A and B are shown apart, each in its own frame.
Chain A
Amino acid sequence: EAGVAQSPRYKIIEKRQSVAFWCNPISGHATLYWYQQILGQGPKLLIQFQNNGVVDDSQLPKDRFSAERLKGVDSTLKIQPAKLEDSAVYLCASSWELERQSELFFGEGSRLTVL
């Protein structure tokens, strides 16, 4: 079974530039999550989708971050404009159902460095 795919693995940009990350969840997984993991911290949820609808985006900085999940499969997370404090690993995860949070499958992450 193929895992959660993310790209790019690494991205370096200057502040005020924009960046986009892509995620392809495990086939059949209805729920998709984007987490932000800052160095030395645990993952923090940014946004949670069930199929192509948003379940929770309360911790997403909406002035600069946006995410979409078209057709309930792939998802894109965008940051525009980036700030220095956005330097982090962005983890995408998926699961079969909303309530089975023990079965979160994570991708390898996209590491963002903002200079």
Chain B
Amino acid sequence: DQQVKQNSPSLSVQEGRISILNCDYTNSMFDYFLWYKKYPAEGPTFLISISSIKDKNEDGRFTVFLNKSAKHLSLHIVPSQPGDSAVYFCAASAGGNTPLVFGKGTRLSVIA
């Protein structure tokens, strides 16, 4: 049973446009959400996070939105750049020392 779902395996966007990556979750105990970025042959790297007490968190070109009632979050990248091409993983935590639960990832391709 997938608790964190990324239903789009891939996404293709033109350079300069907005990229929107979506993530849904089923466990209402999750209260902290993260996005990781992964390039080929490298480990995932932390990108941005959001606590359940917020509905938006922004860091430069990256913004994460959280809709708790819909159990949905999204990552917006504006403007998209070719260097953003990578696999993006959504992850969630129920707090304390409970482990992160990852989605399957979405492969973003930014076309110049």
Contacts and interface: CB of A to CB of B under 8 A. Distances in A.
Q: Do the two chains bind?
A: yes
A4 interface: yes
A55 interface: yes
A44 B96 contact: no
A106 interface: yes
B49 A102 contact: yes
A103 to B, nearest CB: 7
| A: interface residue count bin | 20 to 34
Interface stretch (B13-21, B65-73, B76-84, B101-109): B101-109
A56 interface: yes
Contacts of A44: 102
A72 interface: no
Interface residues of chain A: helix, strand, loop or mixed (majority) = mixed
A101 B89 contact: no
A114 interface: no
Given A41-B104, A109-B43, A55 B49 contact: no
A42 B103 CA distance: 5
B75 to A, nearest CB: 15
A104 to B, nearest CB: 6
A91 B100 CA distance: 14
B101 to A, nearest CB: 8
Contacts of A101: 32, 34, 93, 100
A102 B46 contact: yes
A51 to B, nearest CB: 13
B44 to A, nearest CB: 5
Contacts of B45: 106
A55 to B, nearest CB: 6
Given A44-B102, A106-B43, 5 more contacts: A48-B97, A55-B97, A56-B97, A99-B96, A102-B34
